[in-house]
């Protein structure tokens, strides 16, 4: 049996800190897993991944202590199932704007009777012959709240059985709201929406999450538990800039 240590942390009220990888290099997941992140999210929505490279990334992540998760390309039953079949222990579904869409995601993530996931995984066999007995409990499902409609429907969305929490996308949310986050007014408006979703999570007993970068400590202090601290590309660029700065370049 594999324990989803990141999920256990969050259920205990402790923040799980992760990083998003999108550059299509599975070995990056191995190195970042060794760094101490609680989870690594393989980004199939915006990243350069296919089924096979995603599977290799999950296996690379498993060489360290981090939990492999994946953002699926879209809220699709088969796309979700294929990532789970390859070893993902968490699924993040983008652009969930209604309770019905959340129900579809929850149905796809777990085996009956909790859901409707199809039996027959091949790529996750290395997780043990008893995989089917424990995965429903250990898998983590987060739906993305990243539109005005989703914020308005947050309580209905997050009340859906099988949805463990959310992952707020402030970038898309600001676009949906029609505000500029580079202005104090725009940033304040986005934060108000974000804090509303946080309040909803607390009300219905779900795990609040958010996509962050160098502002990750701020959101952890606010009470978010499922927090991504940047991407592989962002961390690479950050390190490169710091090296060049030290060299006077």
- How far is Cα 179 from Cα 181, in angstroms, rounded to an integer? 6
- Is 196 catalytic? The answer is no
- How far is Cα 79 from Cα 211, in angstroms, rounded to an integer? 22
> Which conformational region is residue 48 in: left (phi greater than 0), alpha (psi within -120 to 50 degrees), or beta?
beta
CB 219 within 8 A of CB 8: no
Of 3, 34, 46, 195, catalytic:
46
Q: How far is CA 3 from CA 106, 144, 220, in A?
A: 20, 24, 23
Q: How far is CA 75 from CA 101, 139, 141, 206, in A?
A: 8, 17, 12, 20
Quote the strand ranges of the chain, DSSP E: 16-21, 39-43, 67-71, 90-93, 140-145, 165-168, 209-212, 226-231
- Partnered with residue 70 across adjacent β-strands are 42, 91
Burial of 27 (0-12, 13-18, 19+ CB in 10 A): exposed
- Partnered with residue 93 across adjacent β-strands are 143
Helix (H, G, I), strand (E, B) or coil at 161: coil
Active site residues: 46
């Amino acid at each position: 049996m594999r324990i989803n240590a990141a999920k256990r942390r969050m259920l205990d009220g402790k923040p799980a800190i992760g990083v998003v990888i999108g550059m299509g290099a599975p070995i990056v997941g191995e190195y970042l897993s060794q760094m101490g992140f609680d989870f690594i999210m393989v980004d199939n929505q915006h990243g350069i991944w296919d089924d096979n490279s995603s599977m290799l990334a999950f296996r690379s992540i498993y060489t360290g202590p981090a939990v492999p998760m994946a953002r699926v390309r879209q809220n699709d039953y088969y796309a979700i199932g294929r990532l789970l079949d390859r070893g993902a222990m968490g699924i993040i579904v983008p652009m969930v704007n209604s309770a019905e869409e959340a129900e579809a995601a929850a149905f796809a993530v777990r085996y009956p009777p909790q859901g409707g996931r199809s039996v027959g995984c091949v790529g996750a066999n290395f997780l043990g012959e008893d995989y089917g007995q424990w995965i429903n409990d250990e898998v983590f499902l987060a739906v993305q709240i990243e539109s005005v409609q989703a914020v308005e429907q947050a309580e209905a969305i997050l009340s859906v059985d099988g949805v463990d929490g959310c992952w707020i996308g402030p970038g898309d949310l600001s676009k949906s709201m029609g505000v500029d986050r580079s202005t104090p007014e725009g940033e304040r408006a986005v934060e108000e929406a974000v804090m509303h979703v946080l309040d909803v999570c607390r009300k219905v007993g779900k795990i609040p999450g958010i996509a962050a970068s160098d502002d990750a400590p701020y959101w952890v202090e606010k009470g978010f538990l499922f927090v991504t601290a940047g991407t592989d590309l962002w961390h690479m660029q950050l390190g490169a800039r710091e090296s060049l700065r030290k060299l006077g370049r």
